[in-house]
């Protein structure tokens, strides 16, 4: 049988490591070479699934058949493995968040530049259908000028009782925030962040944040609320988007939801209604003849494009979709969220 194009190795065969393994096993242009996991039990499970387990990371990194690796260990170990792998001549995909500080990220980027080896990060949620659906609504200017986007992920189980529960590298800003913030930066397409105010929650956990809320303003006059929470027994909608002429709400990961467009903005006929114990004209509900409501059109996406791109980069035919500059901005945003929350202040740095 002809050799497949690129040999792949995996460091950290946990939940996400297995996800990468299963997905890459379906490709005919990738040769699965093996994994290394610090936990012998995980190595046994890997072997039982036909995935060779190396005895050490060194052995994996010295294997000439491996062209590129994915790092899917807990967050605190990404940096050292990324640097060791690039120095051993391997291209590197790190799971998110690649590091916990811009200094560490700079060390990795410097190593990538020095060795000429690819270093990129698995920002897979750029392919989430709900994100794609909102991005389309945004890019097509469907609602008129969008002035506010709220994006929430709400759970009710606290922080999982694994490495996410401790420092360094645990908590929801790193775990989920990194996805939502990356999606936001992508959708804002180069608009500059002009201010950030954030709060962290510690409802169930003192050591790491179990959720956060960030209000982020851009120089294109769009403001965002990004919220991750793990103590919500009633969830708010995933996305809530406000434009001058309409609103959109997304209710699931697939992008299903509702768009409501005004058809008669002036609506001079509004009459005061009883609201609670008073009257209001301002908050009077609209009548059907001034509103056009219809379902969103969920956008499908194909996450396999992520690895398609990696292989094209390895062949010298493309640039990586997830770039160093994007990662620098993302980590800076995360650092600013922590500073804002810790010091209870608005960060008005422009970047
Ligand atoms: N992109 C996504 O959608 C997504 C989803 C889940 C997790 N992740 C990321 O993937 C990474 C792993 O998360 P997970 O949920 O699979 O965790 P996990 O705990 O299921 O797996 C981590 C694995 O790494 C191994 N490990 C721990 N320390 C190691 C070390 N020093 N060297 C080698 N192996 C080591 C553990 O034994 C375990 O098998 C994290 O960075 C996480 O943020 C990404």
User: What mean pLDDT is reported for the chain?
Assistant: 96
Minimum mean pLDDT range among 242-246, 271-275, 329-333, 338-342: 271-275
Strands (E), 90-135: 91-95, 119-122
Confidence of residue 330 (pLDDT cuts 50, 70, 90): very high
- Count of domains for the chain: 2
Q: How far is the CA of 178 from the centre of ligand 1 (A)?
A: 15
- Judge if 338 and 196 occupy the same domain: yes
Alpha carbon 114 to chain centroid distance?
A: 28
- Going by pLDDT thresholds of 50, 70 and 90, the confidence category of residue 208 is very high
Looking from the CA of residue 162, the nearest atom of ligand 1 is: 19
Specify whether 338 is located in the same domain as 199: yes
Residue nearest to atom 19 of ligand 1 (CA): 14
pLDDT of 287 reads 84
pLDDT at 4 over 80: no
The reported pLDDT for the residue numbered 3 is: 55
Q: Give a yes or no: residue 225 inside a domain.
A: yes
pLDDT tens-digit series, residues 113-150: 999 999 999 999 999 999 999 999 999 998 999 999 99
Final residue of a domain: which of 122, 152, 184? Answer: 122
3-class DSSP state of 263: coil
Q: Residues 116, 134: one domain?
A: no
Would 326 be classed as within a structural domain?
A: no
CATH number at 26 reads: 3.40.50.720
Spacing, Cα 285 to ligand 1 middle (Å): 49
94-103, 284-293, 301-310, range with the lowest pLDDT: 284-293
Q: Do residues 111 and 60 both lie within one domain?
A: yes
- Return the SS3 of 226: strand
The pLDDT of residue 17: 98
Name the residue with tokens 């493309």. 318
Asked if residue 108 is part of any domain, the answer here is yes
Please state the rounded mean pLDDT for residues 50-61: 98
From the CB of 80, is ligand 1 less than 6 Å away?
no
Compute the distance between CA of residue 55 and CA of residue 58 in angstroms, rounded to an integer.
Answer: 8
Specify which residues 8 forms β-bridges with: 32, 68
Q: What is the pLDDT of residue 270?
A: 80
Q: Inform me whether the pLDDT recorded for 2 exceeds 70.
A: no
Distance 172 CA to ligand 1 centre (A): 15
120-129, 177-186, 270-279: least confidently modelled range: 270-279
According to the model, what pLDDT value does residue 233 have?
A: 97
Question: Does residue 1 surpass a pLDDT of 90?
Answer: no
**Is residue 277 one of the residues assigned to a domain?**
no
Residues 6+ apart with CB under 8 A from 116: none
Query: Are 194 and 114 part of one and the same domain?
Result: no
For residue 314, being part of any structural domain is answered with no
150 and 30 in a common domain: no
Task: Say if strands 91-95 and 68-71 run parallel, antiparallel, or are unpaired.
Answer: parallel
Q: Which of 46, 74, 99 to mutate to test the pocket of ligand 1 (most atoms within 8 A of CB)?
A: 74
List the CATH number of the domain containing 199: 3.30.360.10
Same domain, 187 and 77: no
User: Domain boundary at 122, 155, 170, which?
Assistant: 122
Q: What does DSSP assign to residue 53?
A: B
75 and 14 inside one domain: yes
Q: Do residue 100 and residue 185 come from a single domain?
A: no
**Would residue 166 count as lying in a domain?**
yes
End residue of a domain, out of 122, 138, 171: 122
| Predicted pLDDT at 265 | 81
Please tell me whether residues 137 and 37 are part of one structural domain. no
Is residue 111 within 8 Å of residue 82, measured between CB atoms? yes
Ligand 1: which of 12, 60, 123 to mutate, most ligand atoms within 8 Å of CB?
Answer: 12
Do 144 and 248 fall within a single domain?
A: yes
Q: Domain check: are 64 and 116 in the same one?
A: yes
In a domain, 140, yes or no: yes
Q: Is 77 in the pocket of ligand 1 (CB under 6 A)?
A: yes
| Structural domain range at position 92 | 6-122
Q: Is the pLDDT of residue 262 over 70?
A: yes
Residue 182 CB coordination number (10 Å): 24
- Is 265 inside any structural domain? no
How remote is the CA of residue 23 from the centroid of ligand 1, in Å? 16
């Amino acid at each position: 049988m002809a050799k497949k194009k690129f040999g792949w190795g995996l460091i950290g065969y946990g939940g996400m490591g297995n996800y990468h393994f299963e997905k890459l096993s379906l490709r005919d242009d990738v040769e699965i070479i093996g994994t290394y996991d610090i936990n012998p039990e995980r190595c046994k499970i890997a072997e039982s699934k036909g995935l060779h387990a190396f005895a050490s990371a060194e052995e994996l990194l010295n294997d000439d058949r491996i062209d590129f690796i994915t790092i899917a260990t807990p967050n605190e170990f990404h940096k050292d493995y990324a640097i060791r792998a690039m120095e051993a001549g391997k291209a590197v995909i790190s799971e998110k968040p690649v590091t916990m500080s811009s200094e560490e990220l700079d060390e990795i980027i410097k190593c990538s530049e020095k060795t000429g080896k690819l270093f990129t990060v698995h920002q897979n949620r750029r392919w989430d259908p709900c994100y794609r659906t909102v991005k389309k609504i945004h890019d097509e200017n469907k609602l008129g000028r969008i002035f506010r986007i709220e994006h929430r992920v709400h759970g009710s189980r606290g922080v999982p009782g694994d490495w996410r529960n401790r420092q360094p590298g645990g908590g929801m800003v790193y775990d989920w925030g990194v996805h939502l913030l990356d999606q936001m930066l992508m959708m804002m397409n180069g608009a500059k962040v002009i201010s950030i105010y954030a709060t962290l929650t510690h409802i169930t956990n003192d050591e790491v944040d179990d959720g956060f809320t960030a209000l982020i303003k851009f120089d294109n006059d769009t403001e965002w609320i990004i919220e991750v929470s793990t103590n919500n027994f009633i969830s708010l909608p995933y996305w809530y988007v406000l434009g001058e002429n309409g609103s959109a709400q997304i209710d699931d990961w697939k992008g299903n939801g509702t768009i409501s467009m005004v058809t008669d903005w002036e609506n001079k006929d509004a009459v005061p209604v009883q609201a609670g114990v008073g009257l209001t004209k301002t908050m009077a509900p609209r009548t059907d003849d001034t509103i056009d409501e219809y379902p969103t059109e969920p956008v499908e996406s194909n996450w396999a494009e992520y690895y398609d791109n990696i292989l094209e980069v390895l062949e010298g035919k493309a640039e990586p979709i997830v770039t160093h500059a994007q990662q620098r901005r993302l980590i800076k945003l995360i650092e600013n969220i922590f500073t804002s929350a810790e010091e209870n202040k608005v960060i008005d740095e422009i970047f």
